[in-house]
Structure formats: structure tokens, C-alpha cells
Structure 1
Amino acid sequence: MTSDTQFPVPVTARPSGPLSGAARVPGDKSISHRALIFGGVAVGTTTVSGLLEGEDVLRTAAAMRQFGANVERGENGVWRITGCGVGALREPDEVLDMGNSGTAARLLMGLVASAPFTTFFMGDASLHKRPMGRVRVPLEEMGAKIISRSGGRFPLAITGQSLIPIDYELPVASAQVKSAILLAALDTPGITRVREGKRTRDHTENMLRHFGAEITVTENADGGRSIAYRGQQELTAADIIVPGDPSSAAFLAVAATILPGSDVTLSNIGLNPLRDGLFITLREMGANIEILNLREQAGERVGDLRIRASTLHGIEVPPERAPSMIDEYPVLFIAAAFAKGRTTMRGLHELRVKESDRLSAMAAGLKACGVAFEELEDGLIIDADGTPPKGGGVIETHLDHRIAMSFLILGLATQTPVTIDDGRVMETSFPGFVEMINALGATVTRGRGA
């Protein structure tokens, strides 16, 4: 599905038979963003295989070109990035349009904080509503000058300065804020330290090591970590094979779990211990998920997943698991709608400030499809009897790709079809989603259901 039309493109999922076969989901979005950024400031040429070519990541590629990196896609799908070196970014000729990508926005804000020029940022209507204050605070503490709308919201301008290192404790667990600080530290003399009370995804730390930098990570007895980075180290080009995105694999894994008779293998999936919370949770609910060919690529744990249809039961998901699966909760809500018993999910404040208020948006969609639930300030409680919900809803996606795909998964196993109001937004993270899941046996079509 392409997004070259300005008009909404409704998409309908109809009750389907079992899914079967093998698939390779698009590359990990978090790693793809970082591969472009670090390749763009490293010395030499980095090749990247398996890069996610969704709209969000392509925004980062365009921005790195404006900063002076040579970023090209080869005919074989392998990207070549010749970096400009740490501290050698070029002033962009135009405003950086981040589209819908909060990851690109927050990471690039950190990257330019030490650059000796002013960078202007904008995005789409959804991104302009999202809070950037949690990134702005530490960057200003380091010395960057930022002008923005209230709450640090887009559009905004950052005038880079010679920064000073800081010792910063994250008030809220956020890999994006941590990464923004570490990117600002790249050209900052001295040691910058970030302390996190709850461990968040560590792709930035892994990639810094992969590009030859020294970074110190200290595990705390209370489960938190301290990350220290000495600025102005030279990064050296290093090739990357991007694993499949576990957040994208989550949709196919849930579909294969809830559709009777399904047997699907997903190859080359990133299984970083700070990103595998959904698969752990599904297995606790009774899902039959087998990990095959476990290995390491560019500092990341990777494996293949075989998922077979299972009978699920409700559980209480530990709130402390939320950082390892925060993006997967929408599709976990779908799995819980097919489980027998009560599934309680708390600690999800972060979902209120994603591409949409995902808690409220998911609650509205579940209600339209006949799912019994209680919406909490920080989560959902879903009660189900193990039989398929009625479905039949027309879901407002709020320009949120994860809401769109979650309700299409729901519609594959409900009693009646489920329609989303606009499928174009799926291109931001999972280009070709409809084609891939249909190739496994699903019934997803453009247009409204009957």
C-alpha cells in the first residue's frame, strides 16, 4: 500500500482461515534510525542491509543528507552511508520535516544540539501535538538554545552551542531521551552520564560500541543503569545488518496465535532483551512461540520465531515490563480479547503521549468491536471468555500506524469484519503489511467491509 494519495484509504480485515508459511518482516525501526545517524557521523562508508524503508526512517535519511552525509540506496536494497565525521555537520538548507516520526525528531534534536548553527524542525499534525519538553530540558541544561511552542512542541528551532557534559537522571524511562542526550554528547568534551531508574532499550549504546566508541554501562542493584560517555571520540564506519523489527513481528505473531490452525515462521527477528517483552508475555498467556537459530548481529540478539495457534488465558502483566514492550501493547490488547479470563495491564502512562493517546483510542475501538474492558489512567483491564468478539466496528486510527494494524489483526478472527478509517499510515513502520499478511492466508482488502 502506498501513501501517494491525500484521501483516506479504508482497509477491512475479514474473518480468515489459518495462517501458514514463512515471512521476513521489515527491518527494526529503532535500529534503522540509528544506523543512518551513526553512519552519517562516522568516518568512512557504512553499508546497511535490511534497513526499514518506511516513511519515518526515510525522514532520517533525508535529514542526514541535509547535514552533509552521503546517503544512497543501491539497486540491491543495500544502503551506503559516507559520514561527515563527529562535529562536522553542515547547516541544513531547509527546514527538517520529521513527518510523523517522534524517534527521528528526538534523536536529531540531540544530534544538532552541539552544531554551530540553527536547525528548524517541523512535522505533521500528529507530531505537533506530541511533547518534546522531556528532550528539551536536558539539552538546554547542556547549553543548547531552543525556541518552541508551549510544552516544547513542534515546530521548534535549535541553535547549537559548545555544550557542557551533564549528569542527568531520567524522570521518566525513555530510550529516546537517553539517546538524544548521548547524541548531544558525541561532540561534547568530558563525560556525560545518563541515569535511568528502569532499563530502556539500549540500541544506542550497542551501536556506539559497534562504531568503535567506548561507553560504560553500570547496572544498579535496583534494576536501573548508569550510562557514561566521553565525548569527541571518533566513530569508524561499520557495516550493519538490521534485524527484523520485533514491533512489526508482534502483529503477525498475535495473528498466528489467535487464528486456529496457524503455523508461521518469522525469520531474523531482533530479540534484544529490552525489546522482547511481548513474546515473553504471550508465552505466559499460553502462546506456542519457539525461538530458533539464536545468534548475535552488530551487538544485537537475533533469532527466528515459529508461532503456532494456541489457546490463551488472561494474566496480570508486570508493570515493570512496560519499557520492554511499550509499542506492542496495542496488539497485546487484541490478544487479550481472545484470552479466557482477565488480563490486567498497568504502568502504561507513556501510551497517552504516543502518535495518539493510544489507551483511549484502543479503548474506543475495542468498545466498537464488543470487547469488555475497563480503561484505567495507566492501562486497561480486559475480560474475555475465549470466544471471538463480535467485531463489526469502523475504527478511527488517529493517524497511528499501530492502532491501524492492531485492529486489522482483530478483524481476522472476529465474527464480522473490522474496518480501519485510513490505512495509509501503516507505511510509516510496516510497508507492505497488507501484502505480507495476505500471502500467509489472511483476508485484508482496501475499502469498507460489508
Structure 2
Amino acid sequence: MDIIVRPTPQLKGEIQALSSKNYTTRYLLVAALAEGTSTIYYPAHSEDSDAMRRCIADLGAVIEEDDEKIVIKGFGSKPKDVKELNVGNAGAVLRFLMAVTALCPDVTFVNTYPDSLGKRPHDDLIDSLTQMGVNVEHNEGRLPIRIQGGSPKGGKIKVSGEVSSQYLSALLFLTPLLAEDSEIEVLGDLKSKVVVGQTLEVLEQAGIRIEASEDYVHFKVPGRQSYQAKTYQVQGDYPGSAAILAAAAVTESDVTVKGLVEHSKQGERAVVDVLKMMNVPLTHQNGIVHIQGTGKLKAVEFDGDAATDAVLAMVAAAVFAEGTSRFYNVENLRYKECDRITDYLTELRKAGAHVEERQAEIIVHGRPEGVEGGVEINAHYDHRVIMALTIVGLRSQKPVTIKDAHHVAKSYPQFFDHISALGASVEWLKS
């Protein structure tokens, strides 16, 4: 479904932040890997977290859920022998489960999104699993992927961090369950280190012991460990909230977002600091961010590696800033649901933004007067691109139509409900 975003000068109101997708998927997985019953309060509901729910159930976890919590009886180190798993379009879920299903004799991950996840490579994780004695059949590193495991071996394992930190996280979930101790060495420049910190935080909460070097290059993982059944509470989601906060920043606004912990390990928490650097009037205390926007912003320079999933929203805000902004160290944006540099900037230019790309940088020449709009733009089936283009539509002089905007449900199904409740003029177009 397509959506039309009309110019909206003011936003006002209060919303509760979505629950964190990253923490939800990790808690679901460690609960499934525990022997016993775990409870997760306030889990996220999105296509990604629903894919993890569906797959761990297929692997033998018993799940009960109500409006407040999800209760999971885990399968421990013995997932059910299944022939096929479908992760939908959820890259992190695929990668985590490629490692976990190395404990199964023969599983094939099917390709139901050939134009999105189906295009993404997973060679680095495949190489690591092969080192562990797992046979992997694949389509040049892409789906469909067949894992023939059953008895993966620990020991010395190398994994590249150049494309994604998810490969490393996948190995960190698997290796504690192996008979042998493991030493994991990360090759190259590890992307999204902050997200590895979230993985380690969740593993520690689940009773797993891992020794990590300060630079996250070397990890010592004792084998023969067991995940413990625990109770978890999911914190608010900064990546999704980044789009709401950026929308408030580019308009005249009085917007409050609740449920965003100040000292969260989510790297995207940096969106609050970046908006402050852009002279956006805001406060952040007691888990509440309050923005009283003027629509007037100044340019910023920012290392985006630690806040990957908030960069597109910050770029959208920078489109309307005074001066030239630069977001650097962001090459891993190219390896997401789409190429979030080339594809995204192509669409921004259609709307009238002045943007340039480098291999690992996005440069934005701000237009405080706004952009023309009046175009139909392609979000490339990417939830983050959809949210970021919506921000631009709010400050366009003419309406912007975003193709296939329903794919926002991958991480934030309520996004258009929330932004509409704050006063944004958005309308679904009947196909």
C-alpha cells in the first residue's frame, strides 16, 4: 500500500515509545535456549520479532502470550529437528538462527523476499560455521541456505566484522552450548559495536559467561554452559523513536516520547545528542524526551557507526538544517534491506534534497526553506527508508507519495498511527 504525506507545519502530543525490536528478538532467543520457563514483559510486535516467535516455536519452544507478556518454555540445547524455516524479511533473525540451527541435523532457510533479504550476503557467517564443522549449502552466500549441522565444534573461530556485527552475535549465542571452549577472533573493522554490547548484556542476564576484550576483537567463551530461565523487561526502542523525534525537530512542535531510558546501551540513543547539537530544544529525563521544535536546525557532523538504525532519520532532519551536514563511517548502511546510501539518497533527490554520497559517507547540503516534494518516491521495501522519507514529506512544499509504505511494519507497525496522532497529515491510498 502507498501513503501520501502532506505538508504538516505543527506536531503536538504524547506517545509511548515502541518496545525495542533488538532486545525483544534477543530475549526471545535466550528464552528459547533456556531449559525452563522464561517471561518477557512488554515485547515488541513487529514483523522481525514475530519472525523470531514463529521460528523458535517451529524449533520446539512452547509460547503463551497476553497483552502484557510472553511466556516461553525453552528447548535448551536441543532444538527440534525441522526441515524448513521461514524468517520472512528479518536479517538478524536469519543470522542468529543460522548459528543456532547448527545444532539441528538439516534445516533449509527459504527465500520469500528475493528483492530484499534474498539479495543480502551472509558469507562471513557461513565461513565461520564451516570452520566449526557445519556443512552449509547456499546461493553465493544468499538464500536459500541449507544448514547441515548436528554437532558443531568449538575451538578457535574467526569471523569478519566488516559487513555486520550480527555474525559475531550469532556465534556468541551458539558457542556457550558447545562441548568445547571457544575463542572467537573478529577480523577487520567491526561494525555496530554498540549492538554487540546489547548481545553481551542479554547473554549475561541469561546466565552466560563470556570474556570480551575491550575492543571486542577477542572473545573467550567457556563451553558446556546452560541458559537460565529468567524474567525480562523490554525497554523502549530508540531506532523507531528516532524517526518520531526527527519529525518533531523539523516542525513547530510540542512532542513528548515516553519510555526511552537515558542510559540505554542502544547506540541509537545518540539521536537525542545529535538533535541537541542541531539546536533542537529538548529535554531528556526520567525516561521522557520532550521536544519543543522550531523547525530551525543547524548542520552537524556525526560518526554513524554506533547509531546505524537512526542515521536515516538524522539525515532527514539535516535536509532542513542551515549548512552542510556529514554522516561518516556508515558503509554498513549499504548492506541492509536495501542500499540505504544510494537508494535512499536517490529518493531524497527526487523530493528536492541536495545530498551527495561517498562509499562510507552521506553529505547533506541543508535547505532550511524546505524541499519541493510533489513526487512519488520508492522506499525500496525498507522500513527505515519509509520512516525517513515521511519526515521529509512533512516539510515538503507539495505532498509526497511513498510507495509500498506498509513495509514499515517490519519494525514499527504503529508508526503512521503514532505520527498521525501527533497531527501529521498522512493518508493511505487505496490500491
Both structures adopt the same fold (TM-score exceeding 0.5): yes
Which of 220, 239, 247 is 2:231 aligned to? 239
| Partner in structure 1 of residue 300 of structure 2 | 315
Q: 1:122, 1:128 within 8 Å by CA — same for their partners in 2?
A: no
Aligned-pair distance for 1:95? 1.6
Change (3 A) 1:368 1:116: closer
Letter of the 2:265 partner, please give it: N
User: Is 1:209 aligned to residue 204 of structure 2?
Assistant: yes
| Partner in structure 1 of residue 338 of structure 2 | 356
Q: Percent sequence identity over matched residues?
A: 27
Aligned-pair distance for 1:238? 1.2
Aligned-pair distance for 1:269? 2.1
SS at match of 1:253: helix
Q: 2:387, 2:408 within 8 Å by CA — same for their partners in 1?
A: yes
Q: 1:438, 1:444 within 8 Å by CA — same for their partners in 2?
A: yes
Which of 9, 22, 25 is 1:30 aligned to? 22
Letter of the 1:418 partner, please give it: V
Q: How many Å separate the matches in 1 of 2:312 and 2:328?
A: 13
Alignment of 1:188-267 (within 5 A): 188=178, 189-195=180-186, 197-198=189-190, 199-201=193-195, 202-220=197-215, 224-260=216-252, 262-267=253-258
SS at match of 1:363: helix
| Partner in structure 2 of residue 4 of structure 1 | none
Letter of the 1:33 partner, please give it: T
Q: How many Å separate the matches in 2 of 1:393 and 1:382?
A: 20
Q: How many Å separate the matches in 2 of 1:315 and 1:424?
A: 31
Gaps of 5+ in 1: 1-8, 294-302
SS at match of 2:246: helix
Q: How many Å separate the matches in 2 of 1:53 and 1:337?
A: 31
Which of 104, 110, 133 is 1:122 aligned to? 110
List per-residue Cα deviations over 1:18-56 (Å, max 9, x = no partner): 222221132111111111110011122111122111111
Aligned-pair distance for 1:183? 1.8
Change (3 A) 1:168 1:280: farther
Q: 1:192, 1:231 within 8 Å by CA — same for their partners in 2?
A: no
Q: 1:37, 1:64 within 8 Å by CA — same for their partners in 2?
A: yes
Which of 61, 67, 84 is 2:75 aligned to? 84
| Partner in structure 1 of residue 160 of structure 2 | 170
Aligned-pair distance for 1:130? 0.5
How many residues are treated as equivalent by the alignment? 419
Aligned-pair distance for 1:364? 1.3
List per-residue Cα deviations over 1:334-359 (Å, max 9, x = no partner): 11101000011222211111101111
Letter of the 2:281 partner, please give it: N
Q: How many Å separate the matches in 1 of 2:4 and 2:239?
A: 21
User: Is 1:289 aligned to residue 271 of structure 2?
Assistant: no
Change (3 A) 1:278 1:137: farther
Aligned-pair distance for 1:277? 2.9
Which of 125, 130, 135 is 1:145 aligned to? 135
Letter of the 1:355 partner, please give it: E
| Partner in structure 2 of residue 441 of structure 1 | 423
Q: How many Å separate the matches in 2 of 1:414 and 1:345?
A: 22
Change (3 A) 1:156 1:265: same
Q: 2:268, 2:310 within 8 Å by CA — same for their partners in 1?
A: no
Q: How many Å separate the matches in 2 of 1:398 and 1:68?
A: 34
Q: 1:277, 1:325 within 8 Å by CA — same for their partners in 2?
A: yes
Q: How many Å separate the matches in 2 of 1:265 and 1:165?
A: 49
Q: 1:330, 1:406 within 8 Å by CA — same for their partners in 2?
A: yes
| Partner in structure 2 of residue 132 of structure 1 | 122
List per-residue Cα deviations over 1:239-298 (Å, max 9, x = no partner): 1111121110001000111111x12121112531533233322222222332211xxxxx
Change (3 A) 1:289 1:230: farther
Runs of 4+ in 1 over 6 A off after TM superposition: none
Q: How many Å separate the matches in 1 of 2:212 and 2:156?
A: 16
TM-score relative to the length of structure 1: 0.89
List per-residue Cα deviations over 1:411-434 (Å, max 9, x = no partner): 112211111011221111101111
Alignment of 1:76-115 (within 5 A): 76-85=67-76, 87-92=77-82, 94-113=83-102, 115=103
Which of 19, 26, 46 is 1:54 aligned to? 46
User: Is 1:393 aligned to residue 393 of structure 2?
Assistant: no
Gaps of 5+ in 2: none
List per-residue Cα deviations over 1:284-334 (Å, max 9, x = no partner): 2222332211xxxxxxxxx3222221421112223xxx2221122221221
List per-residue Cα deviations over 1:378-434 (Å, max 9, x = no partner): 222111242211122211111111111111121112211111011221111101111
Q: How many Å separate the matches in 2 of 1:404 and 1:116?
A: 37
| Partner in structure 1 of residue 259 of structure 2 | 268
Letter of the 1:180 partner, please give it: A
Q: 1:165, 1:185 within 8 Å by CA — same for their partners in 2?
A: no
Aligned-pair distance for 1:225? 4.9
Letter of the 1:276 partner, please give it: R
How large is the Cα RMSD of the aligned pairs?
1.8
SS at match of 1:186: helix
SS at match of 1:403: helix
| Partner in structure 2 of residue 324 of structure 1 | 306
| Partner in structure 1 of residue 408 of structure 2 | 426
| Partner in structure 2 of residue 69 of structure 1 | 61
Q: 1:148, 1:156 within 8 Å by CA — same for their partners in 2?
A: yes
| Partner in structure 1 of residue 392 of structure 2 | 410
